[in-house]
Amino acid sequence: MNYNFEYIDIILLAMIAGFIFLRLRGILGKRNGHEKNVDSSFSHNFDKKKILKNQIEKTNFNEKAKEDFLKGAKIAYETIITNFASGNLKNIKYLLGKKVFDQFNEALEERKNNGYKSETTFVGISLASIKEQNKLDNILEVTVDFVSEIISCVRDKNNKILSGDPEKVRKVFDTWKFSKDQRSINPNWLLVDTKI
């Protein structure tokens, strides 16, 4: 009887399985017991008219509206964090108010001029909660506290680590303010302020 499946093959398959497990964990995150039941099948294809109608009807921000808003805010948070880290503001310009866009653009220019490189892996959001909500005329503003888990580091042009740790997951606390003009046909809320 000929055994073609040798120890090296077993070790190689175990390494591949370990790599796939680590990548999935990095993408999907890990459970810590504090998760809310978030619908993972939330569609990224938005029906603009339906969303606008829903947002106008929900100016009082009842519990269902808060839940829907937080689902979208979590998606926006991850999208903005990952695109900013990769230096790509074009993909998120439609989610940023002018002030925040200018701040992000200035930070990216400074990073580029210094030859710095950012490495970021978004692990997941542990908590997102509405801290404050205001309505002034037709402008809605909602402030959200986020607690997320991120692996990040900044390297110089010689690949030396300046800050962060490429091996360590750290907890990040952010407070972001989103704004929306109810008269606008644009269904997106804009990020208008960030506090770390």
Mean pLDDT of 56-79: 79
Within a domain: 19 = no
Within a domain: 22 = no
pLDDT of residue 184 exceeding 80, the answer is yes
What does pLDDT average to over the chain?
Answer: 81
pLDDT of residue 196 exceeding 80, the answer is no
Within a domain: 13 = no
Within a domain: 110 = yes
Say if CB 169 and CB 159 are below 8 A apart: no
Instruction: Choose the weakest-confidence range: 15-19, 76-80, 94-98.
Output: 15-19
CATH of the domain at 119: 3.10.450.240
Mean pLDDT of 76-105: 92
| d(C-alpha 35, C-alpha 51), whole Å | 26
CA atoms 48, 54, 60, 61: torsion sign: negative
Of residues 84 and 6, more confidently modeled: 84
Within a domain: 29 = no
pTM of the model: 0.66
pLDDT of residue 45 exceeding 50, the answer is yes
Within a domain: 6 = no
Percentage, residues of the chain above pLDDT 90: 38
Mean pLDDT of 31-36: 56
3-state secondary structure of 59: coil
pLDDT of residue 140 exceeding 50, the answer is yes
What is the residue range of 136's domain? 46-195
Strand blocks (E) in 16-106: none
Within a domain: 32 = no
Of residues 109 and 45, more confidently modeled: 109
Tell me the three-class secondary structure of 104-140, residue by residue: HHHHHHHHHHHCCEEEEEEEEEEEEEEEEEEEECCEE
Q: What's the number of domains the chain is made of? A: 1
Mean pLDDT of 112-128: 91
pLDDT of residue 131 exceeding 60, the answer is yes
CA atoms 11, 17, 20, 26: torsion sign: negative
